[in-house]
Amino acid sequence: RMGQAVPGPHFPTVHVDAESPSMPGVRSCVSDPLDMWCTRDDFFDEMLALIKEPIGPNDLCVLKEIQLEELGPTEFHVKVYLDGASLHDINSPEKRETTRDVCRADVRLIWDKVKYEMLVHTRDHDTGKLRNTIRVNFLSNPFRLEFLFVYNPDNGETSMLGWIAENMWIKPVVWEFMRRRTTLERNVESPYGNGDMVAISEPLDEWLDYDTLWGLFLKYIKSTAVHCEEVSDSEFEITVMDPIHGGHPHKPLVRLIKHDKNTGEVVDVASVDNLKLVDTRHVVIHQDPLRMEAWTIGAKGKRTYKHLNTSFLLQWFLDAVIPKKDSGVNAKVSENANVSTTGKTQPAEVAEGCVLM
């Protein structure tokens, strides 16, 4: 999601070269009011999570490593490294002349929730020099965001600042707060485990029963693929090329799905380039109450992708099967419901199996 505009006709925009509401006589970038989407506190927390993990599912096939250093209670430093050879494989515009790895992001964030301010420091990883510093003010009455260059040695244009603010921060965060009938919490302690951090849904019994949820979730996983092979009664393998689900036309993602309806467990092992491990996703569907729980183990054995676990693995699925609050639909979801990765219905014969090329 980072670096890509999120589609939608009603998303707020950022006004470039506007009169600053906080600093008279200064020009800045100011968003439309955001009160209809969420509170200042909710937006602040969501934006922190977004900057702390500045990747999207389209990055997974080339992601080398995310380095996160907590510098204090209100400060962290994050670096995102992309695999140089993989960038060449997909002919990415981010590739270098050699196949050395690329640092996509080198960002230090300092925040003050009492003052509702953030300072985003971006460095040139190759030279170590500070590229720019952006100040973000969380305004009130009405709730808006204001963006200003505090340090801008390269004279970056305010139009670019406005684009970054709107497409990399505001739209992705607003997307998280679109009116949904159910939401998920990310990076919370599992109520079913030994204190591990997970993403978990609210109870879903109002709309689904266990059998229906189980069947629709497996159907949804298959709908992300261009090819599907049933390995056994409890395993299938899919090939994913859509970047929004971690694949690429020149570097397909292969996911081996193991599922056990008796325990509610779905284990999803992803690989590229002849079984080079990308990650392992775990989903457990619990009963009484009916809830979905998820976490991801990265290639180095650590839990990772706290943001993607929620937004792209489970929330999209629940958005596809549960009617929105203002839809007027209150009935239980049918096991014959067709789900797809676009939120649109598919022909039953396709939705039951895999998307065809």
DSSP letters for 95-147 = --SSS--EEEEEEEEEEETTTTEEEEEEE-TTT--EEEEEEEEEETTTTEEEE
Q: Please report, for the domain that includes residue 106, its CATH number.
A: 3.30.530.20
Which DSSP state fits 79?
Answer: E
Instruction: Give 162's Cβ-side CA count (13 Å radius).
Output: 16
Domain-embedded: residue 199: yes
DSSP string of 10-70? T---EEEEEEPSSSTT-EEEEEPP-TTT--HHHHHHHHHHHHHS---GGGTTTEEEEEEEE
- Is residue 117 located within the same domain as residue 228? no
By the 8 A CB rule, do 84 and 99 touch? yes
Same domain? For 140 and 289 the reply is: no
Instruction: Pick the last residue of a domain from 120, 151, 176.
Output: 176
Residue 9 resides in a domain? no
Query: How far is it, in rounded angstroms, from Cα 20 to Cα 190?
Result: 43
One-letter amino acid of 85: A
Domain-embedded: residue 120:
yes
Residue 80 confidence (pLDDT): 94
Does residue 294 form part of some domain? Answer: yes
Q: Are residues 69 and 90 in the same domain?
A: yes
- Is residue 64 domain-shared with residue 201, that is, in the same domain? no
Q: Are residues 117 and 250 in the same domain?
A: no
Residue 229 and residue 125 in one domain: no
Does the residue 2 lie in any domain? no
Mean pLDDT by 10 residues, the chain (357 residues): 45 92 92 93 92 84 89 96 87 82 94 97 92 96 96 84 92 79 81 84 93 95 92 94 79 93 95 82 95 88 73 79 65 64 35 30
DSSP state of 332: P
Amino acid type, 105: A
Alpha carbons 284 and 56: distance in angstroms, whole number? 23
pLDDT score recorded for residue 203: 94
Residues 157 and 208 grouped into a single domain: no
Q: In this structure, are 230 and 327 located in the same domain?
A: yes
CATH classification of the domain holding 341: 3.30.530
Residue-level pLDDT at 6: 44
Q: Which amino acid is at 124?
A: D
Regarding whether 195 and 142 lie in a shared domain, the answer is: no
Q: Is residue 8 part of a domain?
A: no
Query: What does pTM read for this prediction?
Result: 0.76
Look up the domain containing 337 and give its range: 184-352
**Whether residue 109 is found in the same domain as residue 192:** no
Ramachandran assignment for 33, one of left (phi > 0), alpha (psi -120 to 50 degrees), beta (any other): beta
Are 194 and 282 contained in the same domain?
A: yes
Residue where a domain terminates, one of 130, 151, 176: 176
Query: What span, in angstroms and rounded, lies between the C-alpha atoms of 86 and 202?
Result: 38
Asked whether 152 and 162 are in contact (CB, 8 A), the reply is no
From 136, 155, 176, give the residue that closes a domain: 176
Regarding whether 261 and 203 lie in a shared domain, the answer is yes
Model pLDDT, residue 349: 30
| 5 assigned to some structural domain | no
Q: Using the 8-state DSSP alphabet, how is residue 166 labeled?
A: I
3-state secondary structure of 318: helix
Q: Are strands 303-304 and 291-298 parallel, antiparallel or unpaired?
A: antiparallel
Predicted pLDDT at 324 = 65
Q: How many structural domains does the chain have?
A: 2
Q: What DSSP state is assigned to residue 173? A: H
Residue 4 lies in a domain: no
- Rounded Cα distance, 221 and 259, in Å: 12
Q: For the purposes of burial, counting CB atoms within 10 Å of the CB of 248, is it exposed (0-12), middle (13-18) or buried (19 or more)? A: buried
**Which residues, in sequence order, are CB contacts of 128 under 8 Å at separation 6+?**
none
